[in-house]
A and B are shown apart, each in its own frame.
Chain A
Amino acid sequence: MESPVLRIENFYAYFGDNCVLKNVNLSIPKNKATAIMGPSGCGKTTLIRCINRMHELTLGATVSGKIYLLDEDIYATNPIIVRRKIGMVFQRPNPFPTMSIYDNVIAGYKLNGIKIAKNELEKIVEESLRKAALWDEVKDFLHRKGSFLSGGQQQRLCLARALAMRPEIILLDEPTSALDPKSTASIEELITELVDYVTIIIVTHNTAQAARISDFTAFMYLGELIEFGPTEKMFTVPKDKRTEEYLGGKFG
């Protein structure tokens, strides 16, 4: 495997006294889609929320261990910087309701007070919306509020918003769980295309989705990382018995 973009080493996460991640070690390859799957409550969402330091926003949440983004210890960096380099898309589409589509895309710049020339901004907006496969649908009403968009379109807008910051990694937390099958298909197709520009880490409890879109898969169970490897291999010859049982539908 070529040099990883993200390394997680001996990582533990807690909510108060409750340990939700136990000794996770994981290397995420660059410009690939990595799926994290597992049954509900296995800690997969907690894991990606630790990667962009959103976990610590919950009262009483703590971590131990290291996460490196290209050799930079993210727990020794200001979380604001980390989050600009590691974007996130959430379960439910959450565009900013007070902003136009245009402003939503460049929200990362506007809200942070980063000054950029107008034509540069316009380039970023178009580029991000094109990457998110939304440009053709919204280019005629960029300055209208995004509330009339469908759920799938809103989710792609959120993806464009994350892409606009030109992050190293985009974390997707079950991005299709609130969407209909058609929107889900379009987001999945998009993810397979986006790996050319950015590393994708996607949390899903849908094994079929993991199989369809990811290059690598991590299987988590009860806060532990059970198995990690190329998706094809894991789905055909899983090493661990628990992985086999989960994929076979015995639990979860």
Chain B
Amino acid sequence: MKDQSNIRFRITKDIIFKGFIVLFSVLSGIPLIVILYFIIKNGISAINWEFITSLPKPVGEPGGGVLNAIIGTIILIVISSIISVPIGIFAGIYLAENKQGKVPYFVRLCVEVLQGVPSIVIGIIVYAWVVMPLKSPSALSGGIALGIMMLPVIIRSTEETIRLIPNSLREASLALGVPYFRTILKVILPAGISGISTGILLSVARIAGETAPLLFTAFGSNFMNWNILKPIASLPLVIFNYATSPYEEWITLAWGTSFVLVVLVLGLNLLAKIVARKWKVQF
């Protein structure tokens, strides 16, 4: 009889435990749903064709859009990707191919620390390095700051992807007399393309919403700007400026801009998922 009640007690514990697991899992999804709800509720009214195709208007005038910020964010993403994607992929390959040794250890440590550096600090550093010598905030300096933030993500995802590629594939290529660098470029990289591009897309999604490092680097601008040596607008900076302003219509614009930014970031995440599945290589 004692055994019987013991088992019943265990089953009850089991049910309670499972209940908590489900409860907490559901709870973790709630913040995102709430965020989406508020952004859609407040932002959707600001969204119309004019909003995404025209430039901002002075205070008091109705209408106006954030085209300059959309273009600015795209330019910043392009600059930061040009800087960080090649460096990140090569560093990732290096770390994956060299598991031991002092240099890989040092590089790996640097990547980990870099990932933990607050974004505002990166902004200040780039301000000192790039903005001061050039004597002006610019899209270039903003792109450099964001590129530095992308680096650790790309390096780690590349490293992890390439480590998962079976050694037999490398040997297949080397045994055909293919030099090492060609093996890497033509066999290993194509086999890891899904993981590497997923990492790049996720890193872009991460920096698309960064504000702090842009405050002193890209600085923001109310005009359309194609010159990468001039200050440039970006979506998170516009949100920051509008949301902290006292004008009612600007706050609405901030919600609208948030909506655009969230759609952009969610879209990138979705794209990353699709790429990961579509380009997956079966070994």
Segment touching A, from B129-137, B171-179, B204-212, B221-229: B171-179
What's the A-B contact tally at a CB cutoff of 8 Å? 75
Contact of B171 among A87, A94, A112 (CB under 8 A): A94
Q: Is the CB of A147 within 8 A of B282?
A: yes
Within 8 Å of chain B (Cβ to Cβ): is A84? yes
Q: Give the interface residue-count category, chain A.
A: 20 to 34
A98 to B179, CA, bound (A): 19
Within 8 Å of chain A (Cβ to Cβ): is B41? no
Q: Chain B residues with Cβ under 8 A from A95's Cβ?
A: 172
Contact of B177 among A90, A98, A110, A112 (CB under 8 A): A112
Check A88/B175 contact, CB under 8 A, given A96-B169, A97-B191, A113-B182: yes
A205 → B minimal CB distance (Å): 19
| Closest A residue by C-beta to B175 | A88
A88 to B174, CA, bound (A): 10
Q: Chain A residues with Cβ under 8 A from B281's Cβ?
A: 97-98
Contact of B183 among A111, A158, A165 (CB under 8 A): A111
B173 → A minimal CB distance (Å): 6
A146 → B minimal CB distance (Å): 10
A81 to B176, CA, bound (A): 9
Residues 179-199 (chain B) with a chain A CB within 8 angstroms: 179, 182-183, 186-187, 190-191, 193
| Closest B residue by C-beta to A158 | B172
A171 to B279, CA, bound (A): 33
Q: Is the CB of B191 within 8 A of A98?
A: yes
Q: Give the interface residue-count category, chain B.
A: 20 to 34
A124 to B224, CA, bound (A): 58
Within 8 Å of chain A (Cβ to Cβ): is B283? yes
Contact of B168 among A79, A90, A165 (CB under 8 A): A90
Within 8 Å of chain B (Cβ to Cβ): is A108? yes
Q: Chain B residues with Cβ under 8 A from A112's Cβ?
A: 176-179, 182
Q: B25-57 interface mask toward A, CB cutoff 8 Å, 1 = contact, 0 = none?
A: 000000000000000000000000000000000
Q: Chain B residues with Cβ under 8 A from A59's Cβ?
A: 100
| Closest B residue by C-beta to A57 | B174
Interface centre among A81, A88, A96, A162 (most CB of B within 10 A): A96
Inter-chain pairs besides A87-B176, A90-B175, 20 sampled, C-beta below 8 Å:
A52-B175, A57-B174, A80-B177, A80-B179, A83-B175, A88-B175, A94-B169, A94-B171, A96-B187, A97-B191, A98-B190, A107-B176, A108-B178, A111-B173, A111-B176, A111-B187, A112-B176, A158-B172, A162-B175, A165-B177
